Amino acid sequence: MKKDVLVSISGLQYEIDKDEPIEVISIGQYYNKNGKHYICYEEILEDMEGITSCTVKAANEQIDIIKRGSNNVHMVFETGKKNSTFYNTPYGDLQIGIYTTKIQLEEEEDKLSLLIHYSLDINYSFVADCQIQMKITSKKQ
C-alpha cells in the first residue's frame, strides 16, 4: 500500500443512534512497522472548534486507537478482553470500558479493512453495543 491513503471510518452504536452510522472520511498516512499497520489522520469536529490527531495501530490480535487534540483517549481493543481508559473531553473526563467481541483485519494490495465489535460502558454503566469499520485505501495519484 502507498504512504498517502484515504481513510473511511463508520461506526454504529445500536441502542443510542437507532442503527444510524456515523461516518468520517479523511486523508492520512499509512506505514507498516514490525508487522503492524499504522494509520495516521486528522478529525475535524463539527460541534467543537479544533482538530484531533488520530493514530490507529492494528494487528490481528489487537487494535489501538489513539486520539490527541480536542479529545484525548487511548482505546485498546483485544478480542475477549475488557480494557478501561479515560476519555478526556473539554467538558470533563469519562471512564470508559471496552469489551471487544470481534476483530477482523483484511489486507489487500492497496486496501486494508478493519472491523471491531465491542460493548461500551461509561463510568461502569453499560451504554451500547458498538461497531467500528475502517477502510484504508491508497490515494489515487
Q: Which of 44, 9, 41 is nearest to 23 (CA)?
A: 9
Q: What is the mean pLDDT of residues 48-54?
A: 81
Q: How does residue 20 score in pLDDT terms, banded at 50, 70 and 90?
A: low
At residue 19, the pLDDT reads 57
Q: Which of 71, 74, 67 is nearest to 50 (CA)?
A: 71
Report the C-alpha gap between 81 and 34 in whole angstroms.
23
The pLDDT of residue 88 is above 60: yes
pLDDT per position as a tens digit, 56-69:
999 988 999 999 99
Contact 38, 55 (CB under 8 A): yes
Domains in the chain with CATH codes: 4-138 (2.40.128.20)
User: How far is the first Cα of the chain from the last one, in angstroms, to the nearest whole number?
Assistant: 13
pLDDT per position as a tens digit, 93-102:
999 999 999 9
At residue 121, the pLDDT reads 95
